[in-house]
Amino acid sequence: MFQEIKILKQHGIQYVPDLRKVELTGLFRGRPVIDKDITSEEEDLLIDICPSAAFCKEPFSLNMGKCVFCKACAFALPDRIKFTNDYKIASNTLEGLIVVKGKDKPVELDKSLIRPELRRLFKHSLKLREVSAGGDNSCEMELNAAGNVNFDMGRYGFEFVASPRHADGVVITGPITENMAEALDICYHSIPKPKLVILAGTDAISGGMFHNSEALNRVFIDRYPVDLYIPGNPCHPLTFVNGLMDLVEIE
Amino acid sequence: MYFMIPTDNFVVLQNNSTSVDLSAIPVLEYVEFCDVVQSLMADSKNHIANYYAFQQTDQYLFICAILRDEMHDIVVFAHSEPLGLKELPSLTPAIPQIHIFEREIMENFGVKFIGHPWLKPVRYAHNRRDKSQIMDNYPFFFIDGEELHEVGVGPIHAGIIEPGHFRFICNGEKVLHLEIHLGYQHRGIERRFVELKKPLQRAVLAESIAGDTAIGHGLAHAQLIESLTGINVSERLQIERSIALELERLAVHMGDTAALCTDVAYQLGQVVNEALRTTIINTTQRWCGNRFGKGLIRTGGSDYPMTEEFINTMLGTLDDSGKRYMAMADRIYTLPSVLIRFDGNGVVTHKQALSIGTVGMAARACGIPRDIRSTHPFQAFRNYKYTPVLRTSGDVLARGVVRNIETRRSLKVIEELVEMHKNSVLQIAKPDYTSTLNPNSFAISLIEGWRGEICHSVITDANGEIVHYKVKDPSMHNWMALALAVRNQEISDFPINNKSFNLSYCGFDL
């Protein structure tokens, strides 16, 4: 008993008081910024370097939904592209994930597209079912971490539940394998309406390094509307929780 | 005994050294091949690291790699068979640990191993030979009996974990048999290594084989490519890589201790270990910007050489977290309400573990001194004498205690590696993405990840292009150990057994 009290005291207070204002290490690879004066040749160089074809030429931009955050581009041209430690990079549209050159503004959700019932129903309690469909277990561990003593998303009523029947939405990690496609579909249909779909991590959003692999079946993404995209390789717990807070409009 | 085998039956390789010509691997007749396997396996200090087939233009080449722990080497040999081969006699009845590899070959190439007791699909790979075999039709074992019932769990589980299906046959609450059906996570990784042509793409891919082992698999890949390009990395970089690997081990062992506490409802053990794990992965994030170390390991060099400032922060964190861990662990492993659940639960005997070829910490919990850091040293471990942590009872407690002692050991290893780092020459190159690979070559690379032995091997063609890439996560050997562990246990003890191994689904499914 005394030993436990000693450990508790040693353990101290672990929770992060304000999940909106954490200062992560400067090396954290969050929202990228591309210099507005980047030349056409430099653009071609970055397109050639990128392992996951995340750059697009006209206008020159980086798609965070495809980016694997390896930072090879920033190592090649440190004056032209940098990764800031801004972890608030979730978006409810695919366009919101695209960083055009010269743009250095926080990512914001397009509020006009958020269904009004989401806020009404889920602002104080949002229960989610997670499905890993080819995830490499790093995103899964980060989603677990979102509920741990440090990030403690339970304080906002966010919680992962054991059954889709108890859930308000599904969080998908991984590029969605052929072998998991059916189980994911069954899970989705087991969730009562209205329901959310959240894609967590670059693999889920675009397939990442597995884009176009024959072992995938991404029909699900085409078939059902997605409410929130959370980029990252893996997505950071802070990115995830902040994305959810924005979606249900918690200040 | 192995010394009686004429040496022209195999080629002897060292871990973390150069590649060899593919033609240097002796190609035997199958009968002769079986003899060599059997005589090598007569020594319990040897085990099969990999056995796989590769389709060449006019034949199948079957390559086998056996690790000899006492000789600290890898022996590689092969047999070739014509395309369209239908069957071969199975080695599994004599050498049970080859069972999973024969199943994999059957799935990929349709070669039926006659006499194999459970020649079932392994992962329903997208490029499997027989597409009529589908996930839903997995041929589970079943036992008829009025008093028995089956329990099916998964692929989607209650917690946030990867998918897999567990089918229990139970007598009341007692598990008679567990069969583990995987494949849900199959992403086509090995094919992807051949499809993706840029070295950076492959490095990023290697980190995604199993995200909880990003450093382990990333390092196995980097080491492999260095074998194929002849790049020698500096001593300093080798030390940094080894520190990264030990940080990964620390983080997971702490996280798994938390998970073990969760499953026996010891909440203090859970939350304290979760918070401790956070301090370790945040240290890795401070080093390279990613909590799992993605981006840290690259071929030929590093984008994140350790700074003195980082080293001091890291040592401070490890000192603080280490002390807190030890206080917590001392409590966990003396608390009667925890011990009563761990002790004697989920025993894998020494004999079973040897027979199925268990590796890594699961093997060490059964008294098998298998640890690549000491048997086939790599990177900085070539200059660091590491002795494996052993326990003999083979139960959940042994696996917990091995993690506990390895955590303490890793803290010490890092401290000593930092001393070596101070005395090393200040020299770390930038990553190399341009060197050409040796043509017509074979290379193999072994790393002791936190789960155990990671093995990557590769074959190149006449132009130095990768034509075959083989990944083996330790889970390939160890899932069978979990199935054996829960026999005759209460089904409610499955979760702690599962956590005590914490095997990889994606590393197995590839």
CA distance A167 to chain B (A): 12
The distance in angstroms from the start CA to the end CA of chain A is 40
Closest to A8 in 3D by CA, of B191, B271, B310: B271
Quote the CA–CA distance of B244 and B378 in Å, as a whole number. Answer: 14
For A216, counting Cβ atoms within 10 Å of its Cβ (0-12 exposed, 13-18 middle, 19+ buried), the class is buried
The C-alpha of B384 sits at a distance from chain A's nearest C-alpha, in angstroms, of 30
Q: In this structure, what token pair is assigned to residue B476?
A: 């390939």
CA-to-CA distance for B56 and A141, rounded, in angstroms?
A: 40
In this prediction the pTM is 0.95
Q: Identify from A67, A132, A176 which residue to disrupt to test chain B contact, counting B C-beta atoms within 10 A and taking the largest count.
A: A132
**Greatest CA separation for chain B:** 71
Can you give the residue ranges of every domain in chain B?
Answer: 2-122, 189-509
Q: Is B75 helix (H, G, I), strand (E, B) or coil?
A: strand
- Centre a 10 Å sphere on the Cβ of residue B20 and count the other Cβ atoms it contains: 19
The helix/strand count (H/E) of chain B reads as 16, 14
**Nearest residue of chain B to residue A53 (CA atoms):** B201
Q: How far off is chain B from A75, nearest CA to CA, in Å?
A: 8
Does any CB of chain B come closer than 8 Å to the CB of residue A237?
Answer: no
The amino acid that residue A170 corresponds to is: V
At residue B426, the pLDDT reads 82
Per-residue confidence in pLDDT tens, chain A, 251 aa = 788 898 888 888 888 899 999 988 889 999 999 999 999 999 999 999 999 999 999 899 999 999 999 999 999 999 999 999 999 999 999 999 999 999 899 999 999 999 888 888 998 999 999 999 999 999 999 999 999 888 999 999 999 999 999 999 999 999 999 999 999 999 999 999 999 999 999 999 999 999 989 999 999 999 999 999 999 999 999 999 999 999 998 88
Cross-chain residue pair A70–B205, CB shorter than 8 Å: no
Cα-based distances in Å from B459 to B67, B109, B325, B351, B491 = 19, 18, 44, 35, 44
For residue B288, the chain A residues in CB contact (below 8 A) are 27
Q: Is A130 on the interface with B (CB under 8 A)?
A: yes
SS3 B79: strand
Closest C-alpha among B22, B18, B26 to residue B440: B22
Please state which CATH class domain B2-122 belongs to: alpha beta
Distance, in Å, from the CA atom of A98 to the CA atom of B457, rounded to the nearest integer, reads 38
- Across the interface, whether the CB atoms of A179 and B186 are under 8 A apart is answered yes
Listed in sequence order, the residues at least 6 apart from B206 whose beta carbon sits closer than 8 Å to its beta carbon are B217, B218, B220, B221, B222, B456
Residue A180 and residue B275: Cβ atoms within 8 Å?
no
The gap between the terminal CA atoms of chain B, to the nearest Å, is: 35
Q: Among B158, B163, B200, whose Cβ lies nearest the Cβ of A51?
A: B200
| Chain A nearest-CA residue for B328 | A7
CB B174 within 8 A of CB B490: yes
Q: Which residues of B touch A70 (CB under 8 A)?
A: 200, 204, 294-295
User: If you ran DSSP here, which 8-state letter would residue B98 be given?
Assistant: G
A236 and chain B in contact, CB less than 8 A: yes
Token pair of B95 as six digits: 């050498």
A vs B, Cβ pairs < 8 A, gives: 189
Beta-sheet strand order (sheet of A98-100)? A55-56, A61-63, A98-100
Among A residues 50-79, those touching chain B with beta carbons less than 8 Å apart:
51-52, 68-72, 75
Tell which A residues from 176 to 205 touch B, by Cβ distance under 8 Å.
Answer: 177-180, 182-183, 187, 203
Residues 6+ apart with CB under 8 A from B422: none
- Tell me the DSSP string of A102-140: T--------GGGS-HHHHHHHSS-EEEEEEESS--SHHH
Q: Closest by alpha carbon to A159, among A42, A244, A37?
A: A244
Task: Transcribe B32-50 into DSSP letters.
Answer: HHHHHHHHHHTSTTEEEEE
Residue pLDDT, tens place only, B116-127: 999 999 999 998
Find the helix or strand (DSSP H, E) in which B483 lies: helix B475-485
Question: B126 CA to chain A: closest CA distance, Å?
Answer: 5
Could you say which residues of chain B have pLDDT below 70?
1-7
Identify the pLDDT of residue A58.
86
Residue among A129, A174, A213 minimizing CB distance to B192? A213
CA torsion sign for B326, B331, B334, B340 is negative
> What ipTM does the predicted assembly reach?
0.94
DSSP assignment of B334-385: T-HHHHHHHTT-S---HHHHHHTT--HHHHHTTT----HHHHS--GGGGGS-
CA pair distance A202, A55, nearest whole angstrom? 14
Residues B162 and B506 sit within 8 Å (Cβ to Cβ): yes
DSSP letter string over B130-158? Answer: -TT--GGG--------TTEEEEEE-SS-S
A7–B212: do the CB atoms touch at under 8 Å? no
Nearest Cα residue to B67 out of B351, B353, B370: B370
The residues spanned by each domain of chain A are: 111-247
Query: Strands B148-153, B165-171: parallel, antiparallel or unpaired by DSSP?
Result: antiparallel
Taking a C-beta distance cutoff of 8 angstroms, is the pair B360, B368 a contact? no
By C-alpha distance, the chain B residue nearest A1 is: B331
Give the CA dihedral B284, B286, B289, B290, nearest 10 degrees: 30
- As assigned by CATH, the class of the B189-509 domain is mainly alpha
Please give the full DSSP string across B225-285, using - where no structure is assigned.
HHHHHT----HHHHHHHHHHHHHHHHHHHHHHHHHHHHHTT-HHHHHHHHHHHHHHHHHHH
Length of chain B: 510
CATH of the domain spanning A111-247, picked from 3.40.140.80, 3.30.750.24, 3.40.50.12280, 3.90.1150.10: 3.40.50.12280
Report the number of secondary-structure helices (H) and strands (E) in chain A: 9, 10
Beta carbons of A11 and B331 less than 8 Å apart: no
